[in-house]
Structure 1
């Protein structure tokens, strides 16, 4: 019988001090930031950086990991086999509503960095990096926090929770720290800054000024395919390790983390683990968003329309593969810096996509298309239109998304999108193509050639 996995049963596990805080505890965070922080330690036997990580909406991940003292098995899966490693860097797994503990940590001189994976919707920004104060959740946080930041008011947004913690850090007379987004969105540092400072200015002008002077918001580009955990994986881990793990993580061998920005309170030596620090991250962000994420979204919609369920199945379909290559050709025209190594990156992506032992479900990737396609296909299409070209391949990705959403509604299937109401309304419009484009970009929604191209592509689909 397998023994439970925790720090008493796994004698080799070390317990580092909590110096990092994360919002958005999930499988990707554990396969990426937590893993690379462990890899960056100078002395493996005496780790110096531990994570306290808080869940998003659901407390499920924290409830699974707490009995394990934060330990979990990371399974790195390649065509040659599996490699299992118990990760001991996650010291605390906390539910999202434990704002009291979050505040306590942010007011600690030991904590130097906050990282985040809360998805684009979690920043609550309108156009132009402006806080969406009309949003009900944001408005509720503003009303709550205006009553005072003392104690631990239960803010709902990530920015609201950070604001409470930063207010306590300031009150304790501590210096600032770094708040770094690890979400798949362009300019994620500027996005995070806009969300936190936007809320601070609505609540407390003096605190907003302190944040502006003392807190940094580095940008990052992150990459590692991490499928959802399944019961099958749990059983395989038990057989391979002899431990019963409630929450193992499976991932691919490849990883990438590119960072731009300053860390005023210090940070792990992530470069020891292969993390790149650059002066200008924009094209690195776009390489990831347009080549990896862009092709993922194309495969998620077009691949499912053709009956596929995984990335590996889709990329081995000659028609899907050709559409992916066309999209990459358009994107590559705007990724011109030599250090991006775009041809090698494309070759590596094909190898990753065809890994037969990483089951990356297209249905999982397809979630939240109305948000994801803004930064993926729509961004490529806008770049192509600005260059005087048609952007046909990017337009096809958008057409596939529209066709996929239409099919879901016609078949009375749940539309898994945080903007599902907006998508449903757009699809019911007299002309759904410009209505759907308006969800992605107002300029594209006014481009008659783009509308005609997508309308014709929909007929083909």
Structure 2
């Protein structure tokens, strides 16, 4: 149901908590791993807007905390989505979550996965949250993944993997053993070719756990790649706003009005009619994911690195800063030159600026700066590599990488933002030539190019004397 904010309504101190009022919850046909703001503003919203959404309930599992699952269960899985633009808010109650469970409830996860009515497993995982190497293969030095392999091999009842991929494999193995039929796994993250990436990692780990599981997965599991796009910062909602609309909510979500979802891959057991909410199904997702990763996510990261060192805190403030905005538009001009032919980007960039300028979203740069190393790899280095391959010098992506390096070194090599590769970053920052060492973390080909390294050094705010000594002499 959609409810427009009516400021003329009288707020009540005892507004009722969201509830279905005796109406049944939708039947569970989707499992989701990773309850969070983005999942609820995106996949849960698209499912609620599907033409047959009433037939596709979602059982959503948290990563670690139980608090959000408890809050959602207390209000029958319902939550308020606040679409916030410069002119005001639009409130909508989203009803697609049929169950909210803590991630540790692996018994319920396996039980649902073994139900043939369940047709889709979706995931929202950060780039580093998969705990896989850049090519999608498992990292043999990753202790939690190694522990999950031991756990999944064991005869323990129940087996209790802790990582996202480990829990996914637990669910798939339960489905295999139950003979429940094929299923689609849908990655909803910012990794290029995310379905292919996850398939490679999941199969490699499954081979270590049980080759029979891996063989079944090759035949019965479709890994769907997606491009997901909806700016959803972690910001609070004024309880009075919901009370004015007639209810209270312990788990509201704020997002922007814009939403986009592009998917590539098969759904052997069926899927919701997400097209009714605007989702698009394509034969080749690469052009769409590159447009989104480089133009939206790339701009976000560049605004974060360039803005934070200037004392700027939000995307809207950074977009209004002339130096930050010029840097973004210059990077975009270089990025669109390596987009596949025919991909519309002029109107997309215009709309991005409108979205970034929305002052009421309060998208904080410190949040965007998390997991910076892998983001730089996919958002800046990818553009630079393609520009070099096309026979041009990637001056603007070099400037973007330089902004990241300046931000890293401004914090002594240890920015406060979480980063799974933080120790590697710190060691590179402490080396004799931090520019070359940090570039090597995100791209071996770029680090092997003296001309590119010189571009980065030239763009650095204050390269050290030792770095200057490494630069090639001027002709």
Q: TM-score, normalised by structure 1?
A: 0.94
| 1:387 CA drift (Å) | 1.3
Deviations 1:369-423 (CA, angstroms, capped at 9, x unpaired): 011111101111111111122211111111111111222238x862422222221
Deviations 1:128-153 (CA, angstroms, capped at 9, x unpaired): 332222311111112222224x7431
Q: Which SS does the other structure have where 1:216 is aligned?
A: strand
Q: 1:392 to 1:264 in 2, by over 3 A?
A: same
Aligned to 1:337, which of 336, 341, 345?
341
Aligned to 2:103, which of 96, 103, 109?
96
Work out the CA distance in 2 between the residues paired with 1:291 and 1:133.
33
Deviations 1:299-339 (CA, angstroms, capped at 9, x unpaired): 0110122221111111111221111111111110112332x
Deviations 1:32-64 (CA, angstroms, capped at 9, x unpaired): 00001101134x7xx111111111233332233
Work out the CA distance in 1 between the residues paired with 2:160 and 2:16.
34
Structure 2: give runs of 5+ residues left out of the alignment: 1-12, 464-475
Work out the CA distance in 2 between the residues paired with 1:175 and 1:267.
14
Q: 1:13 to 1:283 in 2, by over 3 A?
A: farther
Matched with 1:2 is 14
The 5 Å alignment of 1:62-211 reads 62-148=69-155, 151-211=157-217
Number of equivalent positions: 451
Q: 1:68 to 1:83 in 2, by over 3 A?
A: same
Aligned to 2:316, which of 312, 319, 322?
312
> Do residues 41 (structure 1) and 51 (structure 2) align?
yes
| 1:448 CA drift (Å) | 1.3
Aligned to 2:38, which of 28, 50, 54?
28
The 5 Å alignment of 1:183-332 reads 183-230=189-236, 233-332=237-336
Q: 1:333 to 1:12 in 2, by over 3 A?
A: farther
| 1:174 CA drift (Å) | 1.4
| 1:279 CA drift (Å) | 0.3
Deviations 1:339-370 (CA, angstroms, capped at 9, x unpaired): x3111111111111112221111111111101
The 5 Å alignment of 1:362-373 reads 362-373=365-376
Q: Which SS does the other structure have where 1:217 is aligned?
A: strand
Work out the CA distance in 1 between the residues paired with 2:415 and 2:121.
38
Aligned to 1:15, which of 25, 29, 53?
25
Greater CA drift, 312-321 or 185-194: 312-321
Matched with 1:419 is 421
Q: TM-score, normalised by structure 2?
A: 0.91
C-alpha contact (below 8 Å) 2:412/2:429 kept by paired residues? no
Greater CA drift, 284-293 or 233-242: 233-242
| 1:4 CA drift (Å) | 4.3
The 5 Å alignment of 1:444-455 reads 444-455=446-457
Greater CA drift, 76-85 or 11-20: 11-20
C-alpha contact (below 8 Å) 2:15/2:243 kept by paired residues? no
Matched with 1:430 is 432
Aligned to 1:57, which of 61, 64, 73?
64
Work out the CA distance in 1 between the residues paired with 2:216 and 2:415.
48
Q: 1:15 to 1:432 in 2, by over 3 A?
A: same
Work out the CA distance in 2 between the residues paired with 1:158 and 1:59.
16
Work out the CA distance in 1 between the residues paired with 2:353 and 2:312.
17
| 1:80 CA drift (Å) | 2.4
Q: 1:78 to 1:14 in 2, by over 3 A?
A: farther
Q: Which SS does the other structure have where 1:313 is aligned?
A: helix
Structure 1: give runs of 5+ residues left out of the alignment: none
Work out the CA distance in 2 between the residues paired with 1:88 and 1:2.
22
